[in-house]
Amino acid sequence: MFRRREAVPFAFVAESDRFRSNVTPPARQRPSVSEVAGRTLIGLTVVAGLVGSLLFGMPAMQAGPSAGHTQQSEAAEGR
């Protein structure tokens, strides 16, 4: 639509990558003790949930009935 009449020199475009701003970003604020404690508790909750799901899920993933948990019907016991 709109065309620039003057050409942009390639050197100007290439030098734009090296441009450094003289404005420094503000310093990062250190997290407070309560924020660190909250993040730690959330992390521990997630890890505990994963470990708990593995512990409760492992018996369901075992193949075949185990020796201590065999179920017998009453007809099989009466023989």
The pLDDT assigned to 29 comes to: 92
The DSSP annotation for 47-75 comes to HHHHHHHHHHHHHHHS-S--GGG----HH
For the stretch 58-67, contacts whose Cβ atoms lie closer than 8 Å and that sit 24 or more positions apart, written own/partner, are none
DSSP category for residue 78: T
Work out the average pLDDT over 18-41. Answer: 87
64: phi > 0 → left, psi -120 to 50 → alpha, else beta; which? left
Q: What is the pLDDT of residues 50-77, one digit of tens each?
A: 999 999 888 888 876 655 555 666 765 6
